[in-house]
Amino acid sequence: MTLLLPHILNGLTLGLLFAMIALGFTLIVGVMETINLAHGSLFALGAYAAATILSPAILGDTAFAAWWGTLPLGTRYALALVVGPAVAALAGIVLELCLRRTYGKAPLYGLLLTFGAALVIEEAIRIAWGSGEQFLQVPAVINGPMFMLGLIYAKYKLFAAGFAILAIFAVWLFLERTPYGAVIKAGAHDSEMVRALGYDIGRLRMLVFALGAGLAGLAGVVMAPIWGLRPHIGIDVVIPAFLIIVVGGVGSFWGAVVSAILVGLAVGISGAYAPAWSMMSMYILLVLVVGLRARGLFGRKSQLEL
């Protein structure tokens, strides 16, 4: 058990990070019943935007860049936490406008369109930032190792996990305590009802998409220092996201959180025995859960089954 402890801890952290990635994804699936395969690319877009903000060479050799470089890293990091999600949200709005053509058609078209969008965003990133791997700097306060329960632990990972808990909580509060949240939950069940409540379904969808994309971008900013940044990171990210949603059950907020932690633990613990194969455990988990319970752990009936 004590030997496993670091792996369990690792798995928990990973699970929380996965949950944060899945938050925006589940919001969008719940309301629009669109599987957003570009979710990972929006994550990458947010992270790349943050990398630009964080790097002193923001505008090349200009005076602005020189001044920018003198700003403390903490300030720039805080800025990146705002700009990254904003850029992703903007891209999300554009994507939602494109998606309007697919509403009322088979869900396949939404899937195809977002798949195309994922490719386009990835290529755009390659063109704008190059194909090489990039790393994000983080402020010294949350950088470096720390000791806990006799284990060495990266401070930043703990920060990211804490940040993820905050984000999960914030989204939950938003859904439970605001009128928008109430409408989104209503919309998640019945778009007729949203109309009956007097809300503009078009605007609601755009809001949800922007929010979901923004959350993807936020996750990107927070996680890039851990995972590094490469243009095709989108794929590495969207796979766990949809896996988590399918395991948790489409449209269930806590289902997504619980299944994210399950997936994280599965990857973390299997990492103790077969590090090279640990990622395989999440696929096996998916096949097991969905094989036993078609709708996932907490799922309800959905359009997507048809």
Q: Is 290 in the site for other proteins (CB under 8 A)?
A: yes
Angle 47-51-55 (CA atoms, 0-180°, nearest 5)?
170
CA 56, CA 64: separation in Å to the nearest integer? 10
CA 19, CA 299: separation in Å to the nearest integer? 16
Q: How many residues does the chain have?
A: 306
CA 22 vs. chain centroid, Å, equals: 5
Which of 242, 262, 263, 265 contacts other proteins by CB under 8 A? 242
- Whole-angstrom CA distances from 192 to 96, 186, 189, 198 are 20, 9, 9, 10
State in angstroms the smallest separation of the CB of 109 from other proteins: 6
Residue number, 152 or 276, with CB nearest to other proteins: 276
Residue number, 197 or 235, with CB nearest to other proteins: 235
Residue identified by tokens 């509403």 is: 103
Which of 8, 12, 90, 111 contacts other proteins by CB under 8 A? 111
Q: Is 306 in the site for other proteins (CB under 8 A)?
A: yes
Which among 236, 288, 290, 304 has a CA at the least distance from the CA of 44? 236
Which of 219, 286, 289, 297 contacts other proteins by CB under 8 A? 286
| Cβ–Cβ under 8 Å, residues 41 and 117 | yes
State in angstroms the smallest separation of the CB of 297 from other proteins: 14
Under DSSP, the state recorded for 232 is T
Q: Is 291 in the site for other proteins (CB under 8 A)?
A: yes
Binders in 264-283 for other proteins, by CB under 8 A? 276-277, 279-280, 283
Which of 79, 93, 120, 175 contacts other proteins by CB under 8 A? 120
Q: How many residues bind other proteins (CB under 8 A)?
A: 38
Which among 220, 277, 222, 264 has a CA at the least distance from the CA of 10? 264
Binders in 47-76 for other proteins, by CB under 8 A? none
| Cβ–Cβ under 8 Å, residues 89 and 214 | yes
State in angstroms the smallest separation of the CB of 304 from other proteins: 4
Q: Which residues bind other proteins (CB under 8 A)?
A: 35, 98, 101-102, 106-109, 111-113, 115-117, 119-120, 123-124, 127, 232, 235, 239, 242-243, 246, 276-277, 279-280, 283, 286-287, 290-291, 294, 304-306
